[in-house]
Amino acid sequence: MDRIRIIGGNALNGTIPISGAKNAALPLMIAGLLTDETLILDNVPRLADVAQLQRILGNHGVDIMSAGKRPGDREYQGQTLHISAADIFDTTAPYELVSRMRASFWVIAPLVARMREAKVSLPGGCAIGTRPVDLLIMALERLGAEITIDGGYVIARAPSGLKGGEIDFPKVTVSGTHVALMAATLAEGTTVISNAACEPEIRDVADCLNKMGARVTGAGTPRITVQGVSKLHGARHTVLPDRIETGTYAMAVAMTGGDVQLSGARPELLQAALDVLTEAGAVVTSTNEGIRVARNGAGINPVKVSTAPFPGFPTDLQAQLMALMTCAKGASHITETIFENRFMHVQELARFGARIALDGETATVHGIGQLRGAPVMATDLRASVSLVIAGLAAEGETMVNRVYHLDRGFERLEEKLSACGARIERISD
């Protein structure tokens, strides 16, 4: 199993290209099930989760062609996928595939919308709390789907097709909003989704659906209206840049010092996180190429942050911020409001010498002068990259084990960092 070895202490200087957003690419690929014509997606990141979803879609009969590099392509430019779901011959998504990635459960929406039936395994996936699918099922029932659960599978049927309806989520849910949005595009009549998630990835998916002939308004706000259509067609869409990758590298620069251009990044996608970085002492500048992040010899200031749905501070950057605050001058307070059980990185950061106290959903981080390198273990996707950030700033050698978590969400991490002066390498056993 691969490991990542880091010798800490080098500042980061140079340019890091930002990849396409995983959290948009996955639902966009699933949206390809809604039409029998070809959906072309540009700037799709090369990630383990993308490859896994390709296998899942292939199981339904979807043909996916991945176009390689072309003359003139920039290094790290994302891949182009041609997704053709002309003949869906299997509407079952089996446990052995769905259990590896939660987002694959979302295939239930386009399958029941277009094929009028779907049988999808209840998901396994992440270790960060329960993340139930009850709100996704509720959304489909509001659109007239008949739902039964049998043997660990959710079976959805709509013999006469889905019908528009009112979906009022009791709490903000990104996955529920994606499912409701996709299902509603082919439902007869008008659907109103209230208390919808406002994340940029929702808007990106809605933009693509509209290119395919859907009639979606209000995406990116808490109220989305969808006028159902009888058929969607093919389209071409470019995946937006990954705001979590952007924030992760920005925090790495703030922690190690240096000056890095995050090319292709869009500041409006993560303004709350950039504001926190500025408060912590980094210099963040919007440029024509993206975002420039720098920190000179000045120390890191402590901050007080609560995670929140967009446009608040993202839960997916909480672990990275905690790593940064381990070296702050004073005590920081980080409250996790989105997912329970999302502090598994705390005990691993402690191996670097970090001083972190937990009280319910709040972590108090007492900054120390210098972290020390240590062998550590990745526990989930975002937690694992916080260990890399800590290792970049720590004295001596850090070995990060179980890096398959990193490969799910970060494209060519060690290449991008080493190009900016980090001493980081992948070791394959």
Binding-site residues for UDP-N-acetyl-alpha-D-glucosamine: 102, 131-135, 316, 338
**Residues placed in the known binding site:** 22-23, 102, 131-135, 316, 338
| Active-site residue, selected from the candidate residues 126, 198, 327, 420 | 126
Q: How far apart are CA 184 and CA 232, in angstroms?
A: 12
Largest CA distance in the chain: 66
SS3 labels along the chain: CCEEEEECCCCEEEEEECCECHHHHHHHHHHHHHCCCEEEEEEECCCHHHHHHHHHHHHCCCEEEEECCCCCCCCCCCEEEEEECCCCCCCEECHHHHCCCHHHHHHHHHHHHHHCEEEEECCCCCCCCCCCCHHHHHHHHHCCCEEEEECCEEEEECCCCCECCEEECCCCCHHHHHHHHHHHHCCECEEEEECCCCCHHHHHHHHHHHHCCCEEECECECEEEEECCCCCCCEEEECCECHHHHHHHHHHHHHHCEEEEEECCCHHHCHHHHHHHHHHCCEEEECCCEEEEEECCCCECCCEEEECCCCCECHHHHHHHHHHHCCECCEEEEECCCCCCCCCHHHHHHCCCCEEEEECCEEEEECCCCCECCEEECCCHHHHHHHHHHHHHCECEEEEECCHHHHHHCCCHHHHHHCCCCEEEEECC
**Residues placed in the known binding site for phosphoenolpyruvate:** 22-23
Contact call for residues 300 and 367 (beta carbons, < 8 A): yes
Verify whether residue 126 is a known catalytic residue. yes
Q: Catalytic positions, please?
A: 126
